[in-house]
């Protein structure tokens, strides 16, 4: 017997939880502006998230999926992509979506039960929110195939969770991307939980990055609470894909600090101590520590940033709250390019019965 294949999975981290460099920082991280920009975005998302949860609690928003604790993973992905690339997100990656141009008011509309939330006025190529788990991985592969066929130097990125790696669509996407050398990067946000199902019930696999091995593509694990690591390895994977060298899988290790959604109660299935331990290594803290250590940040700046974020979030909430319900005809008007005849009568009937949101 001889070994004919074996594999290794690398793990990368640049900033440890105390904000101390644990590796030589990549070039972009020498540029304080870029680091601060990412910190600002992470702070904005965090404040937005808290506000959204309050809106839900006070009956002004539907079920909402929090991104608390995922800010570095999400922002790192967004920051590494080019505008002409294409993102196929799941449903909680606001840090990436906002970076791509999605508006906070759109995210609120979506969770407020309004299709206009997926309009993405300023993110023209991106796929909308994707609730059916892992289906979007194939869309990213397909988008990449379109770019490949047209010879365009563009990439697609999909984001799914640890739970999503159990779906067939996830493997199918990795496999076809490997077989066709598609310019796509698959990101798995491993936040340890899929609603109430912990990773060890999801898979016997030691890492999720190694799922790449069977597809013949590179797989790497990064500290998902370290925005520098996420952005750096995303950039490397995207460059590689753009050069025609094929897809990659990046597993970002983080933790879902919130309930799954506002409809969930995580205290039913996981221990407080586990959450507390994860909170101690959360992503904003570590980047702030590093920035402070470098003399790039202080309490006054922090306070000013928070005030600015609160203002921006409040403006988005205002715009959301003041968006009147869509006309009932909206149900019909985006179904096909042209409304088929038999639907004209149904459209009129819906108008006739429209209760204007009262029921």
Give contact residues for ligand TPP (rule: CB under 6 A): 92, 131-133, 160-164, 189, 191, 193-195, 256, 260
159 or 313: whose CB is closer to ligand TPP?
Answer: 159
What is d(CA 207, CA 249) in angstroms, rounded to the nearest whole number? 12
- Token duo for residue 263: 């409809």
CB 15 within 8 A of CB 226: yes
In the residue annotation, 260 being an active-site residue is answered as: yes
What is d(CA 150, CA 247) in angstroms, rounded to the nearest whole number? 17
For strand 197-198 and strand 219-223, is the pairing parallel, antiparallel, or unpaired? unpaired
14 or 110: whose CB is closer to other proteins?
Answer: 110
What is d(CA 352, CA 156) in angstroms, rounded to the nearest whole number? 44
User: Using CB under 8 A as the criterion, what x/- string covers residues 249-288 for binding other proteins?
Assistant: ------------x-xx---xx-------------------
150 or 268: whose CB is closer to other proteins?
Answer: 268
Q: Does 161 bind Mg ion (CB under 5 A)?
A: yes
Alpha helix ranges (H) inside 208-265: 211-215, 227-242
**H or E element in which residue 75 lies:** helix 71-80
Q: Does 343 bind other proteins (CB under 8 A)?
A: yes
**Contacts for 31 with CB less than 8 Å, ≥ 6 apart:** none
- Token duo for residue 268: 């039913």
What is d(CA 310, CA 43) in angstroms, rounded to the nearest whole number? 10
Residues 57-86 touching other proteins, rule: CB under 8 A, are 62-63
Q: Which stretch binds other proteins (CB under 8 A): 4-12, 146-154, 239-247, 326-334?
A: 326-334
Q: Does 178 bind Mg ion (CB under 5 A)?
A: no
Q: How far is the CB of 67 from other proteins (least distance, A)?
A: 15
In the residue annotation, 256 being an active-site residue is answered as: yes
Q: How many residues bind other proteins (CB under 8 A)?
A: 49
- Token duo for residue 315: 């403006």
**Contacts for 59 with CB less than 8 Å, ≥ 6 apart:** none
Catalytic choice (92, 260, 286, 320): 260
Catalytic choice (57, 82, 269, 334): 269
**Contacts for 274 with CB less than 8 Å, ≥ 6 apart:** none
Q: How far is the CB of 61 from ligand TPP (least distance, A)?
A: 18
CB 323 within 8 A of CB 357: no
In the residue annotation, 269 being an active-site residue is answered as: yes
Which residues here bind other proteins, judged by CB under 8 A? 62-63, 91, 110-115, 117, 129, 131-133, 163-164, 166-169, 194-197, 201-203, 261, 263-264, 268-269, 325-326, 328, 330-332, 335, 342-343, 346, 349-350, 353-355, 357, 359
Positions annotated as catalytic residues are 256, 260, 269
Which residues here bind Mg ion, judged by CB under 5 A? 161-162, 191, 194
């Amino acid at each position: 017997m001889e070994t004919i294949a074996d594999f290794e999975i690398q793990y990368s981290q640049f900033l440890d939880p105390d904000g101390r460099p644990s590796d030589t920082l990549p070039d972009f991280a020498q540029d304080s502006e870029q680091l601060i920009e990412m910190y600002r975005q992470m702070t904005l998302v965090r404040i937005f998230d808290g506000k959204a949860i309050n809106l839900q609690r006070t009956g002004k928003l539907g079920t909402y999926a929090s991104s608390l604790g995922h800010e570095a993973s999400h922002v790192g992905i967004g920051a590494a992509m080019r505008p002409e690339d294409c993102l196929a997100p799941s449903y909680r990656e606001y840090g990436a979506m906002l970076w791509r141009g999605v508006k906070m008011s759109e995210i609120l509309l979506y969770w407020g039960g309004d299709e206009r939330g997926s309009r993405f006025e300023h993110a023209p190529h991106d796929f909308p929110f994707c609730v059916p788990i892992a289906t979007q991985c194939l869309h990213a592969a397909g988008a990449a195939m379109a770019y490949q066929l047209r010879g365009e130097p563009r990439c697609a990125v999909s984001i799914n969770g640890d739970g999503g790696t159990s779906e067939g669509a996830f493997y199918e996407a990795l496999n076809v991307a490997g077989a066709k050398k598609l310019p796509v990067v698959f990101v798995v946000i491993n936040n340890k939980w899929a609603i109430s199902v912990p990773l060890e019930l999801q898979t016997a696999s030691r890492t999720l990055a190694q799922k790449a091995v069977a597809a013949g593509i590179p797989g790497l694990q990064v500290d998902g609470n370290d925005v520098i690591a996420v952005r750096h390895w995303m950039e490397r994977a995207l460059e590689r894909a753009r050069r025609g060298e094929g897809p990659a899988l990046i597993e970002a290790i983080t933790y879902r600090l919130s309930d799954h959604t506002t409809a969930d109660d995580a205290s039913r299935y996981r221990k407080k101590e586990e959450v507390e331990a994860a909170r101690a290594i959360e992503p904003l803290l570590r980047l702030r520590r590093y920035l402070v250590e470098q003399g790039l940040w202080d309490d006054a700046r922090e306070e000013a940033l928070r005030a600015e974020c609160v203002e921006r979030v409040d403006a988005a909430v205002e715009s959301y709250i003041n968006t009147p319900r869509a006309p009932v005809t909206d149900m019909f008007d985006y179904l096909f390019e042209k409304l088929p005849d038999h639907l004209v009568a149904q459209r009129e009937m819906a108008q006739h019965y429209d209760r204007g949101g009262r029921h």
